């Protein structure tokens, strides 16, 4: 089983094929709808304003060769002000399709984790970067949280806990490559096969 550690090299990404099971370690960042919309509007569609520059610089460092995780975690706050993840399941990724390719290119992302797969624009960006889409296990939020060893910091907490950008350290996070840097997508393959079977049943 391939083991990936952030920051991930181009060579490691190109070695992966759709269907590979991997274990991911290192620092990753969560981000859902609000975070992606924020990054597009404040960092990509316009020049970065001075008040946003510290966060932009921090994310550029964290995501260069890194991974963003489509996740709205359940987070426990401890008496000393530290945090820990109670549940860390993936959220549906297709909602980020309108944003993801631009975010991948801007931050030099090497991986996107979520569930359900993404579309043609993201697959194209994966080929260009290169990058991969990693499918996490839906319905296993507590199990996945065991891979989150440390919450390092949080950004955009004003968006609420699920929509904030949590910077976390993971060890042996389990995932499957379902979209690779060679243009292969298990999601489109399964959709095509399903349509063929449905047509045969209806014939």
CA angle 130, 38, 134 (to 5 degrees): 35
pLDDT value of position 187: 79
Give residue 67's domain range: 3-202
pLDDT value of position 140: 81
Domain count, the chain: 1
CATH code where residue 33 lies: 3.20.130.10
Which residues contact residue 74 at a Cβ distance below 8 angstroms, ignoring those fewer than 6 apart? 85, 86, 87, 88, 141, 145, 161
**pLDDT means per 10 residues in the chain (203 residues)?**
95 97 98 98 96 97 98 95 95 96 98 96 97 91 93 97 98 97 84 62 68
């Amino acid at each position: 089983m391939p083991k990936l550690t952030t920051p991930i090299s181009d060579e490691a990404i190109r070695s992966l094929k759709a269907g590979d099971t991997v274990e991911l370690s290192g620092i990753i960042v969560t981000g859902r709808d609000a975070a992606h919309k924020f990054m597009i509007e404040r960092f990509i569609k316009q020049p970065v304003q001075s008040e946003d520059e510290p966060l932009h610089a921090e994310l550029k460092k964290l995501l260069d060769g890194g991974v963003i995780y489509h996740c709205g975690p359940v987070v426990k706050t401890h008496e000393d002000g530290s945090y820990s993840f109670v549940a860390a399941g993936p959220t549906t990724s297709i909602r980020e399709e309108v944003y993801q390719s631009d975010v991948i290119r801007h931050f030099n992302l090497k991986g996107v984790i979520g569930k359900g797969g993404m579309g043609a624009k993201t697959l194209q960006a994966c080929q260009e970067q290169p990058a991969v889409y990693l499918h996490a296990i839906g319905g296993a939020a507590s199990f996945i949280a065991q891979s989150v060893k440390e919450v390092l910091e949080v950004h955009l907490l004003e968006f609420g806990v699920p929509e904030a950008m949590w910077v976390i350290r993971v060890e042996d996070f389990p995932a499957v490559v379902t979209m690779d840097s060679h243009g292969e997508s298990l999601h489109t393959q399964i959709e095509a096969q399903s349509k063929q079977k449905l047509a045969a049943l209806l014939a």
